[in-house]
Amino acid sequence: ADGIIKDEGLELPFETRFAQVAGEHANRFGRSWRNQVATPEIFEIHHAPPLVDAIGQLTGTDVIGHPVFNARPKLPGQQLTVVPWHQDSGYFGTVSETSLIPTAWIPLVPVDETNGCLQVVAGSHRLGVVDHRTEEREGRFLEVMDELVDTSRIVTCPMALGDALVFHNLTFHRSLPHTTSNIVRWAIDIRYLRDGDHPGTIYWGDPDFKWVIRSETQPVTPLTQWLEMW
């Protein structure tokens, strides 16, 4: 409507389309999308049986969906999307320290250390919620202090299509810069919640709403009801 995009580039492959279409206006489209992608497809990803089975091994029989999920395009050379070391509970607040809010990070293109894969610090979830500060770089993300990062425990996580990386809400993690090619590093991160745990400071619009994904005792939330929350 604003005339920013001159050509939708529908003939371009998925991996490169956004970079070529957005061009110099890429930052204007933001670094992550949530409400814009609250679609049946995102709902179905949360319900993928292999993923729910894995999450259920952590949360127990009942698997609850969390209101925070994102689609993230990382463009080559884009500083806005370079995410520093942080914990998800740095955003959710100390009220989530004893909660289990597992994240599933799912790449939509193959990722490695050259195009923005994740790194995690093994065992860092045992530190509790640590102090975060707002970084001085362009992204203005929250970050943990460098001295808290045990560099001997850093694990780099190259991934292929179909992979999902599951980690604790207290785990230190970051995404590396995208330094090669014209391929957009697309990824989706979604979260779950152990039933009865505090979701943190980010809530649904309706505080009484519970997104039940799998349960033996509670009715599963239908797509129509979930869509109404957005």
How many whole angstroms separate alpha carbon 208 and alpha carbon 220?
15
For the full predicted model, state whether its pTM sits above 0.95. Answer: no
Residue 17 lies in a domain: no
Which residue range is the domain that position 154 belongs to? Answer: 29-225
Which pLDDT belongs to residue 140?
74
Residue 73 lies in a domain: yes
Burial class (CB in 10 A: 0-12, 13-18, 19+), 12: middle
Which pLDDT belongs to residue 1?
45
At 199, the amino acid letter reads: P
Which pLDDT belongs to residue 30?
54
Residue 230 lies in a domain: no
Nearest Cα neighbor of 204 from 41, 66, 104 is 66
How many whole angstroms separate alpha carbon 49 and alpha carbon 38?
19
Neighbours of 122 (CB within 10 A): 12
Say how many domains are in the chain: 1
Residue 1 lies in a domain: no
- Which positions of the chain have pLDDT values less than 70? 1-33, 138-139, 204-205
The alpha carbon of residue 207 and the mean position of all alpha carbons in its chain are separated, in whole angstroms, by 22
Which pLDDT belongs to residue 162?
95
Q: CB–CB of 167/87 below 8 Å?
A: no
Which pLDDT belongs to residue 158?
98
Residue 69 lies in a domain: yes
Residue 35 lies in a domain: yes
The alpha carbon of residue 73 and the mean position of all alpha carbons in its chain are separated, in whole angstroms, by 11
Q: Which residue has the tokens 């239908």?
A: 222
Q: CB–CB of 163/111 below 8 Å?
A: no
Residue 2 lies in a domain: no
Which pLDDT belongs to residue 79?
78
Residue 7 lies in a domain: no
Q: CB–CB of 83/141 below 8 Å?
A: yes
Terminal alpha carbon distance of the chain = 22
Residues 6+ apart with CB under 8 A from 195: 59, 60, 62, 64, 215
DSSP string for 82-98: ---SB-HHHHH-GGGTT
At 22, the amino acid letter reads: A
Q: CB–CB of 141/149 below 8 Å?
A: no
Residue 158's domain is classified under what CATH number?
Answer: 2.60.120.620
